[in-house]
Chains A and B, each alone.
Chain A
Amino acid sequence: MDLVLLKDDLVFGVKLASYALGTRTSMPILAGLKMEILGNRLRLSATDLERAVQCEIPAENNDDEETVILNGAVLSQIAAHLPADDHVSLKRDTDDSDVVKLRCGEALFDLPTLPVEDYPEIPAPPEDKVAVLAVDQFHRGLEQTAFAALKAGETTRLSLTGVDLVLTAGALKMVATNGYRLAMKTIKPDEVLAEGEYLIEAGVLTDLDRVLMQLKGENVEVYKGPSQLFFRSNGVTFMAKTIAEEFPDFDRVIPHDNPIALLFNRRALLEALQRIEITAAEESGAVTFRVTPEESAARINSSSKEKGEAEERVRLRKVPAAELEISFKAEYLIDALKRVASEEIAFQLTDPEKAGLIEPDGDQIAPEDEGFLYVCMPVRLGG
């Protein structure tokens, strides 16, 4: 092994690969960053078995093709602190074949290699292209849905840790729920080649999103594997394993024709909720909305024994159709309102025990809010 790389290329490649590095102590090999020398290219890969990143950078290769595995976390730290020099060289130590010498300017590192034969095979991206998506839309879709899932590791209900991706002719629906609230975004793909439904852990998709943001590509191609999706953009491949569980039947719980529409200024409601949440009861986090057809304002309040009480009137653009008193966990509403850009939102309600629907509203719906809706179940407050 005897390579010379542009420093910026290596820094870029290591950074991308680091999004998929494993941290499980039970499989120390997954902490490795795999480097395959292929002619005058260096392929960098990392995987934690749930996800994988693979990218290639140009290399001046002065030796045979071969593969080495170095500790990815160490390499990331080195990459972040390399001295001011344009090039980095990687050479196998002549005295100890289990060591790779990394040199940049005056800095020299001796890095031990990990056993290549222990490294799991990363599935090769198949040819089954299912869709092409615009990166900015996909990014916005993930931003507006992934937050609504449960965090993996904090639950045993795996299906609720994912974002469900439903590809149909002309549309990609992205849906996530924690069992109490649900976020859905529909975007229009550039191309749909095959319909299908894929459930992928929200955390994995968030990492994919970070990778895509680094790549600054316009499009991302989506390929289907037997139990994974592959996303390819600007020559970089991101593999995401699908969750082998059924996503709840979300269409059933999206309300239609809720009769009471509360039309709020988004920012006014968000800021009021952030204040009123302060005195919400610890376990429920509930705030209560009260509206009557006599008043074009919602009275929102919260109270708890320990923290006190808060009440605020928030203006409505129209008087509501009927009287209603309904409570929600403030956090759930704040989560959604923070991720909407439009000036106006509609909060559509039926009765104190039925789901509320939040949608961007008004004459000027922000383009980045197109296709977004949010469903939230109320909190029942007993006497």
Chain B
Amino acid sequence: MEKETRKIGHLDMDAFFAAVEQLDNPTYRGKAVIVGGLGPRGVVATASYEARAFGVGSAMPMAKARKLCPHAIFLPPRFPRYKEISDRVRAIIHDYTPIVEPASLDEAYFDLTGSERTGGPAEVIVRTIKARVHAETGLTCSVGLGPNRFLAKIASEIEKPDGLVIITPDNVQAVLDPLPVDRIAGVGKVTAHRLRGLGIHSVADLRGATLDVLVHEFGRYGRTLYQLARGRDDTPLRPHRETKSVSRETTFPHDIYAPEEIERIVRRMARVVAAELRHERLLGRTIRVKVRYPDFRTITRQIRMEAPTDSTYLIEETAAALVRRRVRIADDGVRLLGVGVGGITTATTRQLPLFGTRNDALDHVVDKLHARFGVEAVRRDGHPAPENGNESMDRNNGARYSESGGELG
């Protein structure tokens, strides 16, 4: 029996953070704009195409970007604004299919297989989506359509920016073969290097390798490579990706020594994490604190709570106690601090506390104020992420921290 060919789309906003800055501030347009952590240890999140011409790229240390492109406009990220546009783009896609899997703030996969009966050919729908994104946000994106998510992603990259590429079962090999192997998701520098050692440079070369050779060299991943070289990928879309943890972490521009300051920062991050839990109507059971020392040794300390919670009081006090009692602060200080909450459940079921009522009421008030005046952005696992893991936070207090989200531990 022949399986129905799936129609998977991948939409990727072009130089998203930088493009939003250029959109909101016309004087930035046509100029090199670099968004990222601005401290001495900051990393580039997004560079506009004008900056990319100078060799600036994502995940590059900001110091290097400043050297390559000293005249660029350097900006800290504004996550709430990016999230707003990201939500609008996602809403557009949702008009055509309920199956949307956000990959990050600027990327989403979607499944149009079932949409064709009512919405017309997928090839037409993706064109409509692309046009609507431009019309309704003022930003361009690149869209790929293919029989699976691997090919959809490949397709969206081929003509970036402002591209639209459709891969069908008939042209798969013609599109894939000439690509260098490191265009395959998951093939990083190390794998690419090992592949080159086997004489494999392009996808066509990879297709020439036998399954035995690839499995021998890469184990189970060899099997995946063998399939991907042939454009085969049956990974399903996960429209409702479950949040596994809500966390926040900060790398400091200078190592922090004072225990009081460390605790103060941990408390602030804990408050933000708690607010995010409430915003998303989630509860967490495990509270973690992560510390990285200047020599990059990293430790985490965690506590499993008696019941899942979203209480600022509980999360803040627990995180503070963890860092105070269970973390050794050496003379050389700490380089990074993180607070995370795991064991996530939805807040529809909640063990009510005996003593917590006054604090809960306060949480509610604080949340309202945040909603009106803005709160620092938080990222969660499995949800929109910056292009690389570097953000800036705490724009109010002089110091700038670069930070990255992600699961602690």
Q: Which residues of A contact B (CB under 8 A)?
A: 150, 154-157, 177-182, 248-249, 253, 281, 283-284, 286, 329, 353, 355, 375, 377-383
**8 CB < 8 A contacts A-B:** A155-B305, A156-B321, A179-B355, A180-B306, A180-B307, A286-B349, A377-B352, A377-B353
Task: Determine if B347 is an interface residue (Cβ-Cβ < 8 Å).
Answer: yes
Complex partner residue of A353 from B306, B352, B354, CB under 8 angstroms: B352
Q: Chain B 332-358, CB within 8 Å of chain A: the 1/0 string?
A: 000000000000011111111111100
Once A283-B285, A381-B348, A382-B348 are accepted as A-B contacts, the answer to whether A154 and B303 lie under 8 Å apart by CB is: yes
Complex partner residue of B318 from A156, A182, A253, A283, CB under 8 angstroms: A156
Q: In the complex, which residues of chain A have a beta carbon less than 8 angstroms from the beta carbon of B308? A: 283
A253 and B355 within 8 A (CB): yes
Instruction: Specify which of B322, B325, B348, B355 lies most central, judged by the most chain A CB atoms within 10 Å of its CB.
Output: B355
Once A150-B306, A180-B307 are accepted as A-B contacts, the answer to whether A329 and B349 lie under 8 Å apart by CB is: no
Q: In the complex, which residues of chain A have a beta carbon less than 8 angstroms from the beta carbon of B351? A: 180, 284, 329, 377, 379
Complex partner residue of A284 from B317, B349, B354, CB under 8 angstroms: B349
A281 and B354 within 8 A (CB): no
CA separation between A112 and B354, bound complex, in Å?
52
Complex partner residue of A377 from B322, B325, B354, CB under 8 angstroms: B354
Task: Determine if B304 is an interface residue (Cβ-Cβ < 8 Å).
Answer: yes
Complex partner residue of B304 from A154, A177, A284, CB under 8 angstroms: A154
A253 and B349 within 8 A (CB): no
20 new A-B contacts, CB < 8 A, other than A248-B355, A283-B349, are A156-B303, A156-B322, A157-B318, A179-B354, A179-B355, A180-B351, A180-B353, A180-B354, A182-B354, A249-B355, A253-B354, A286-B349, A377-B351, A377-B353, A379-B349, A380-B350, A382-B346, A382-B347, A382-B348, A382-B349
CA separation between A283 and B354, bound complex, in Å?
18
Once A179-B354, A248-B355 are accepted as A-B contacts, the answer to whether A281 and B349 lie under 8 Å apart by CB is: yes
CA separation between A253 and B355, bound complex, in Å?
7
CA separation between A182 and B352, bound complex, in Å?
13
Chain B contacts with A in 340-399, Cβ cutoff 8 A? 345-356
CA separation between A177 and B354, bound complex, in Å?
9
Q: Chain B 24-59, CB within 8 Å of chain A: the 1/0 string?
A: 000000000000000000000000000000000000
Q: Which residue on B lies nearest to A377, using beta carbons?
A: B352
- Number of B interface residues in the complex (CB < 8 A): 24
Complex partner residue of B349 from A178, A377, A380, CB under 8 angstroms: A380
Smallest distance from the beta carbon of B48 to chain A beta carbons, Å? 45
Q: In the complex, which residues of chain A have a beta carbon less than 8 angstroms from the beta carbon of B317? A: 156-157
Q: In the complex, which residues of chain A have a beta carbon less than 8 angstroms from the beta carbon of B306? A: 150, 155, 178-180
Q: Which residue on A lies nearest to B348, using beta carbons?
A: A382
A355 and B325 within 8 A (CB): no
CA separation between A248 and B354, bound complex, in Å?
10
CA separation between A181 and B351, bound complex, in Å?
10
Instruction: Specify which of A155, A248, A383 lies most central, judged by the most chain B CB atoms within 10 Å of its CB.
Output: A155
Q: Which residue on B lies nearest to A177, using beta carbons?
A: B354
Q: In the complex, which residues of chain A have a beta carbon less than 8 angstroms from the beta carbon of B322? A: 156
Which 10 residue pairs of A and B lie closest in terms of their CB atoms, listed nearest first? A382-B348, A156-B321, A377-B352, A284-B349, A380-B350, A253-B354, A248-B355, A283-B345, A156-B318, A178-B306
Q: Which residue on A lies nearest to B304, using beta carbons?
A: A154
CA separation between A237 and B325, bound complex, in Å?
30
Q: Which residues of B contact A (CB under 8 A)?
A: 285, 303-308, 317-318, 321-322, 325, 345-356
B354 and A155 within 8 A (CB): no
CA separation between A164 and B104, bound complex, in Å?
50
B348 and A383 within 8 A (CB): yes
CA separation between A281 and B346, bound complex, in Å?
13
B354 and A156 within 8 A (CB): no
Q: Which residue on B lies nearest to A381, using beta carbons?
A: B349
Q: In the complex, which residues of chain B have a beta carbon less than 8 angstroms from the beta carbon of A353? A: 352
Once A150-B306, A381-B348, A382-B349 are accepted as A-B contacts, the answer to whether A375 and B354 lie under 8 Å apart by CB is: yes
Q: Which residue on A lies nearest to B325, using beta carbons?
A: A156
Q: In the complex, which residues of chain A have a beta carbon less than 8 angstroms from the beta carbon of B346? A: 382
Instruction: Specify which of B317, B325, B350 lies most central, judged by the most chain A CB atoms within 10 Å of its CB.
Output: B350
Q: In the complex, which residues of chain B have a beta carbon less than 8 angstroms from the beta carbon of A155? A: 303, 305-306
Q: Which residue on A lies nearest to B326, using beta carbons?
A: A156
Q: In the complex, which residues of chain B have a beta carbon less than 8 angstroms from the beta carbon of A377? A: 351-354
B352 and A380 within 8 A (CB): yes
Smallest distance from the beta carbon of B52 to chain A beta carbons, Å? 46
CA separation between A353 and B307, bound complex, in Å?
16
Smallest distance from the beta carbon of A175 to chain B beta carbons, Å? 12
Instruction: Specify which of B349, B352, B354 lies most central, judged by the most chain A CB atoms within 10 Å of its CB.
Output: B354
Smallest distance from the beta carbon of B150 to chain A beta carbons, Å? 32
Q: Which residue on A lies nearest to B322, using beta carbons?
A: A156
CA separation between A249 and B285, bound complex, in Å?
24
Q: Which residue on A lies nearest to B347, using beta carbons?
A: A382
A355 and B354 within 8 A (CB): yes
Once A156-B303, A157-B317, A283-B308 are accepted as A-B contacts, the answer to whether A179 and B353 lie under 8 Å apart by CB is: yes
CA separation between A346 and B376, bound complex, in Å?
49
CA separation between A180 and B356, bound complex, in Å?
9
Q: Which residue on A lies nearest to B287, using beta carbons?
A: A156
CA separation between A178 and B307, bound complex, in Å?
10
Smallest distance from the beta carbon of B306 to chain A beta carbons, Å? 5
Smallest distance from the beta carbon of B289 to chain A beta carbons, Å? 10
Q: In the complex, which residues of chain A have a beta carbon less than 8 angstroms from the beta carbon of B304? A: 154
CA separation between A177 and B355, bound complex, in Å?
10
CA separation between A355 and B354, bound complex, in Å?
8
CA separation between A215 and B237, bound complex, in Å?
66
Smallest distance from the beta carbon of A276 to chain B beta carbons, Å? 16
Instruction: Specify which of B321, B351, B352 lies most central, judged by the most chain A CB atoms within 10 Å of its CB.
Output: B351
Q: Which residue on A lies nearest to B311, using beta carbons?
A: A179
A379 and B347 within 8 A (CB): no
Smallest distance from the beta carbon of A125 to chain B beta carbons, Å? 29
Smallest distance from the beta carbon of B402 to chain A beta carbons, Å? 29
CA separation between A25 and B386, bound complex, in Å?
44
Q: In the complex, which residues of chain A have a beta carbon less than 8 angstroms from the beta carbon of B350? A: 284, 379-380, 382
Q: In the complex, which residues of chain A have a beta carbon less than 8 angstroms from the beta carbon of B305? A: 155
Q: In the complex, which residues of chain B have a beta carbon less than 8 angstroms from the beta carbon of A178? A: 306
CA separation between A290 and B352, bound complex, in Å?
19
Q: In the complex, which residues of chain A have a beta carbon less than 8 angstroms from the beta carbon of B307? A: 179-180, 329
Q: In the complex, which residues of chain A have a beta carbon less than 8 angstroms from the beta carbon of B321? A: 156-157
CA separation between A150 and B318, bound complex, in Å?
14
Instruction: Specify which of A150, A281, A329, A377 lies most central, judged by the most chain B CB atoms within 10 Å of its CB.
Output: A377
Q: In the complex, which residues of chain B have a beta carbon less than 8 angstroms from the beta carbon of A248? A: 354-355
